[in-house]
């Protein structure tokens, strides 16, 4: 039965994987990219991780009540500061995405659902 609860998240992640080839969640063509953004734009795996994370984040914020959404957005802002602190360190950025994706998946699992 646990699979049934994760089906919407799985569907979103499948959608994210099809979109991942297109672009990161920000404009890779803008004139001045931050070092972390440039690293993401230059690395397909990081680009894909960005799209997956943003898709999961958007799905979750749509499922949460207003207070939960605000908390999720605050956590996202803190996480973005952590990613930015990585500068162009690909391993650091990859680890940041892995941690954030796990946090978002845990948040999804903790959402109260009717039986």
CA atoms of 6 and 25, how far apart (whole Å): 23
pLDDT for 115:
56
For 30: left if phi > 0, alpha if psi spans -120 to 50, otherwise beta; the answer is beta
pLDDT for 18:
42
CA 106 to chain centre: 13
In the chain, pLDDT over 90 holds for what percent of residues? Answer: 62
pLDDT for 23:
61
37-69 burial string, b = 16+ CB within 10 Å, else e? bebbbebeebbbbbbbbbbbbebbbebbeeeee
Average pLDDT, the chain: 84
- Other beta carbons within 10 angstroms of residue 108's beta carbon come to 18
pLDDT for 19:
44
pLDDT for 112:
75
The model's pTM: 0.77
Query: What pLDDT, in 10s, does the model give residues 22-34?
Result: 468 899 999 899 9
Query: What pLDDT, in 10s, does the model give residues 32-74?
Result: 999 999 999 999 999 999 999 999 999 999 888 888 899 999 9
């Amino acid at each position: 039965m646990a699979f049934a609860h994760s089906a919407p998240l799985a569907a979103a992640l499948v959608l994210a994987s099809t979109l991942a080839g297109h672009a990161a969640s920000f404009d890779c063509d803008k004139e001045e990219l931050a070092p972390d953004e440039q690293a993401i734009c230059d690395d397909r795996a990081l680009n894909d991780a960005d799209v997956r994370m943003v898709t999961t984040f958007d799905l979750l914020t749509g499922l949460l009540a207003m207070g939960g959404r605000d908390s999720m957005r605050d956590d996202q802002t803190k996480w973005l500061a952590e990613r930015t602190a990585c500068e162009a360190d690909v391993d650091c950025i990859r680890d940041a995405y892995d941690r954030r994706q796990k946090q978002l998946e845990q948040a999804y699992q903790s959402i109260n659902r009717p039986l």
